[in-house]
Amino acid sequence: MLKNEIGALILRVTLGAIFFIHGVVKFQGGIENTAGWFESLGLPGAAAYGVALIEIIGGILLIIGLATRLVSALFALLMIGATVKVKLAIGFLGNGQMAGYELDLAFLAIAAFLVIHGSKLFSLSQLIFHRDSTNAKAL
């Protein structure tokens, strides 16, 4: 059982760090540029702000282990949206100019695992609520 929790901890912190960095980069590179790219895809430019904030705040929450299942579900939805809207047409391995959806699929799988399993080890939710981070009564 401890092995499973250690594995979940590694996945939770890694996924959190990856999404946090992706969110920060969206602002560092000029969130207006990201908003323009969203608009070129037929999405509202304001969605770029929402996505970046979800990535930053959600990344921090995953790292500290708060609302793990909820955040992971949001990340899974982001990965599904990115795959369907952008990456699917490019193909699994990409087209030489842009990466394919292989990494998005891996992130989706990790997020889905965390939605199903949760992660209690070194989790702020566990410390505060003495139970898994998605217990509706605890949130």
Quick one: pLDDT band at residue 134, thresholds 50, 70, 90?
A: very low
> How far apart are alpha carbons 27 and 52 in whole angstroms?
7
pLDDT at position 129 is 85
Residues 67 and 138: their CA atoms lie apart, in Å, by 10
User: Are 119 and 5 spatial neighbours (Cβ–Cβ below 8 Å)?
Assistant: yes
- pLDDT tens track for 32-86: 999 999 999 999 999 999 999 999 999 999 999 999 999 999 999 999 999 999 9
pLDDT at residue 113 in the model: 98
As given in the structure block, the two tokens for residue 122 are: 């070194």
Whether 37 and 83 have beta carbons less than 8 Å apart is answered as: no
pTM higher than 0.85, yes or no? yes
Residue 31 DSSP code: H
